[in-house]
Structure 1
Amino acid sequence: MNEQQFDQRLVDQFFKYDYHDRGMMKWQGFYLSDHTVAIAKQEKQTKHVVKVKPQQTVIEIKKNLVRAFEKQQSVIIQLNELDQELRPLEIQTTIKQLDDEIVELDLGSEISIDAIRNVSQFNVV
């Protein structure tokens, strides 16, 4: 091992006047590859629509979700959420898990049943 002596004053001067730590800025560009894949997949499945579908009752929403879950069918879920242009969002997905209040989608994301406006079967053309 090298037994060289260092000048503590020189080190202190470097950190006081020359070195500028950017803090969290240096970490802002790092994303995990599976995170970027999940974001791209979710953006592909989320699309903007113009037509507002009728508000279904909670019972109708749950019935449609249970049917789709049991048959592993794709559904289109229209949310009560609007984008900047005041259009409702729709998600085409399959149901991974379901309980009384939360729906887990195939991407692993969750939606509250209260946030759903309409659930309809996805028809492949």
Structure 2
Amino acid sequence: MRMGTVDEVRGVAMSLPRTTEHLIRDRVKFRVGSIVYLALSQDETTLGFAFPREERAALIATDPTRFFQPPPSDLRFNWVCGHLSHLGGDELRDLIVEAWRMVVPKRVYASWHQGVS
């Protein structure tokens, strides 16, 4: 498996409509409006991303060496984390797009999806 990079994360995220990049407490975060859907750890080795809370345990169970729970303070959110060194290529792109999809209006996603299909 190919290792994901910060540049790859940035490239995918910034290609998605309404996404803005912010540096918050020395962490790069991507958001739509005020909603963060993607965040890199301070050392840029892990990636937190929006993900349905009710499906989080199942994703982590598929491969706990790649995916893990967010800190206890973030468990109430629709959020999961992954090791960037174990994510790359189409899988990383799909995780980013699905995280973004959770926070944009359906019509924005539909319009974007038509353009890439």
Q: TM-score higher than 0.5 here? A: no
Instruction: Tell me which protein shows more helix as a share of its residues.
Output: 2
TM class by shorter-chain length? under 0.3
What TM-score do you get using the length of structure 1 for normalisation?
A: 0.24
Structure of larger gyration radius: 1
Q: TM-score, normalised on structure 2?
A: 0.25
Q: Which has the higher contact order (CA 8 A, sep 6+)?
A: 2
